[in-house]
Amino acid sequence: MAKGQPRSQRFLDWVERTGNRLPDPAVHFLIALALTWALSLFLSGVDFGEIDPRTGASLQIVNQLTPQAMAGFLSTMVTSFVGFPPLGVVLVMVLGVGVAEHSGLVGAGLKRLLDLTPPRYLTPMLATVSIASHTIADAAFVAVVPLGGALFYAAGRHPLAGLVVAFCGIGGAFAANFVPSGLDPLLQGFTEQAAQILDPDIRVNPLCNWGFMSFSAVFLVLATWWVTDRIVEPRLKTVAIDGDPDDLPEVHPLSKKESRALLLALAVFVVMVVGLWLAILPVDSPLRGSDGGVTAHDAPLMQAIIPIMFLFTVLPGMAYGYAAGTFKSHKDVIKGMSEAMSSMGYYMVLVFFAAMFTKAFADSNLGALLALKGAAVLQALGLPAFVTILGIILLTGALNLLVGSASAKWAMLAPVLVPMLMAVGISPELTQMAYRIGDSPTNVITPLLPYFPLLVAFSIRYVKNTGIGTLISLTLPYSISYLIVLVACLAVYWGLDLPLGIQAGYVYP
């Protein structure tokens, strides 16, 4: 490291070196499991003077290294893994997204939407599309980011600006979305499981953050527009585009066949929306809950939210694929699912170790002890609830510089943070939202994000000497503005007592 480097560059170099030295996230859970076992052994005979709110009896740490406990751990290992709440959610969503992406529907839809946008509104439209593309999860980085660069280049604007707008809209605005995505029930599974450490009967709705996320998405789009026009594009005026002209990507218009296929897919989607609305309209609809509502946790509609989202991606994707000619037979549909599922191998390894840690942590009562002791410290400090939540946001943002996976971090943090804040009157839904706010903006300034190298590769096609430092200097203004906007939106939203989402409040109980 050169002594003459700017302090910010030295800090980013330190982040990169430190992060590269950390073990794989799967190993993090294995280490946490070993620590849980060791702590349960040493603390099992200690009287902490705490009352277990679940039983009303004295809270005791349960030794997980006794022969009986180890036998129980081994005998339930398979069911703990298979029954881990987020696992099925993610895999089912991946199957549906795989069909929509493999058919070409995702790319065609993005092109048509952006084709219809006047040049002056290209930035906010690309930001809106990028935020909404969270629905297709990590595939958005591959599908939307290069398209953003190509669209800006075709419009006579600097392509690096288009790349970072799309990249930041996907990675930095991950705490906002206009439509539900697979991440909602994924995080909800961890949150509900953690909340049940203190309250076994509590239920968390999969769309518990949707209200705030939709509200904040509007302001993140405006922030993206302002940062791009006032900071990023003026900075890029002196950066020459020196890529090989023959290698620069082009945005080809949709053919008549693709346009007709897109209209058919849209028609299928509309018919499905109308059909679902008609299905839930009757007061005695089987999709309604016991109280006649459609948003209650026990309502079949809420319990079937993932299968419904699966159908809303599979059927339009199939309609587009067959009409556009990208699908010739049912084998192509299965191939799309298979290719999407083949990318989930690492995730399943990660989930296996996360499930083992979560079970041992819950069975040992260490989570309940940390929650009660942490709550006592917070109560002694007497901090306002918003200050506490702001602390969670900043803690998560700092941790995100070193550990990129949103689900891995929340699997580790939720069993501690959720019950601890419940004990001081903060709802699990608000804690989850604070985590999502902290986890999002710093995604785009850490080289440890798995898709950051992809941004570098896309950028080099336009500007040959593009490096990590160059790109971080472009993404940093978005990161800072997103954090400010999200915190400000939460303050306003909370102050107006608007619902965080479906069946979600700010206080517990």
State mean pLDDT over 354-360: 86
What local confidence, expressed as pLDDT, does residue 377 receive?
Answer: 83
Residue 357 has pLDDT above 90, yes or no: no
49-53, 227-231, 351-355, 439-443 — which is least confidently predicted? Answer: 49-53
Q: Which whole-number Å values give the CA distances from 363 to 24, 415, 500, in the listed order? A: 25, 12, 31
Q: Which whole-number Å values give the CA distances from 142 to 149, 201, 366, in the listed order? A: 12, 41, 41
State mean pLDDT over 254-262: 93
Burial of 427 (0-12, 13-18, 19+ CB in 10 A): buried
Whether the bond between 282 and the residue before it is cis, its omega within 30 degrees of 0, is: no
Residue 323 CA from chain centroid, whole number:
32
Buried/exposed 109-133: b ≥16 CB within 10 Å, e otherwise: bbbbebeebeeeebbbbbbbbbbbb
Query: Which long-range CB contacts under 8 A does 415-418 form with residues at least 24 apart?
Result: 415/193, 415/194, 415/197, 415/358, 415/361, 415/362, 415/367, 416/194, 416/367, 416/370, 416/371, 416/374, 417/194, 417/392, 418/191, 418/194, 418/195, 418/197, 418/371
Number of helices (H), then strands (E), belonging to the chain: the values are 24, 0
With the CA atoms of 154, 155, 158 and 163 taken in that order, what torsion angle do they form, in degrees rounded to the nearest 10? -70
Across 86-90, 239-243, 251-255, 260-264, which has the greatest mean pLDDT?
260-264
| Tokens at 397, concatenated | 């943002």
Give, as one character, the DSSP assignment of residue 258: H
Percent of the chain with pLDDT over 90: 41
Backbone φ and ψ of 2, nearest 5°? -75, 140
The whole-angstrom separation of Cα 431 and Cα 374 is 14
Report the amino acid identity of residue 265: A
Give, as one character, the DSSP assignment of residue 120: G
300 in Cβ contact with 280 (< 8 Å) = no
The whole-angstrom separation of Cα 72 and Cα 356 is 12
Pick from 126, 90, 96: nearest CA to 405: 90
What local confidence, expressed as pLDDT, does residue 275 receive?
Answer: 96
257-271, 352-366, 429-443 — which is least confidently predicted? Answer: 352-366
Strands (DSSP E) contained in 171-260 are: none
Residue 1 has pLDDT above 60, yes or no: no
Percent of the chain with pLDDT over 70: 90
What local confidence, expressed as pLDDT, does residue 405 receive?
Answer: 65
Residue 9 has pLDDT above 60, yes or no: no
**Cα angle vertex 136, ends 231, 279, to 5°?**
125
Q: What is the pLDDT of residues 99-141, one digit of tens each?
A: 988 898 877 887 787 778 887 899 999 999 999 887 766 667 7
Residue 202 has pLDDT above 60, yes or no: yes
Across 43-47, 217-221, 233-237, which has the greatest mean pLDDT?
217-221
Give residue 69's pLDDT band: very low, low, confident or very high (50, 70, 90): very high
**What are the beta bridge partners of residue 426?**
507
Q: Which has more pLDDT, 473 or 10? A: 473
Q: Which has more pLDDT, 447 or 325? A: 325
| Tokens at 178, concatenated | 């206009």
What local confidence, expressed as pLDDT, does residue 33 receive?
Answer: 92
What local confidence, expressed as pLDDT, does residue 461 receive?
Answer: 84
Q: Which has more pLDDT, 367 or 498? A: 498
Residue 83 has pLDDT above 90, yes or no: no
What local confidence, expressed as pLDDT, does residue 491 receive?
Answer: 96
Residue 321 has pLDDT above 90, yes or no: yes
What local confidence, expressed as pLDDT, does residue 148 receive?
Answer: 86
Q: What is the pLDDT of residues 399-430, one digit of tens each?
A: 787 665 677 778 878 888 999 999 899 999 99
Q: How many CA atoms lie within 13 A of 473 on its CB side?
A: 12
Give, as one character, the DSSP assignment of residue 101: H
Q: What is the pLDDT of residues 271-304, one digit of tens each?
A: 999 999 999 999 889 998 887 877 766 788 877 8
At a CB cut-off of 8 Å and minimum separation 6, what does 154 contact? 250, 251
Give, as one character, the DSSP assignment of residue 231: I
Pick from 34, 420, 459: nearest CA to 239: 459
Could you tell me the end-to-end alpha-carbon distance of the chain, in angstroms, rounded to an integer?
52
What local confidence, expressed as pLDDT, does residue 156 receive?
Answer: 84
The ranges assigned to domains in the chain are 32-47+65-495
30 in Cβ contact with 408 (< 8 Å) = no
Q: What is the pLDDT of residues 447-506, one digit of tens each?
A: 667 677 778 888 888 988 887 778 888 898 999 999 999 999 999 999 999 999 998 999
With the CA atoms of 494, 499, 501 and 504 taken in that order, what torsion angle do they form, in degrees rounded to the nearest 10? 90
Report the amino acid identity of residue 272: M
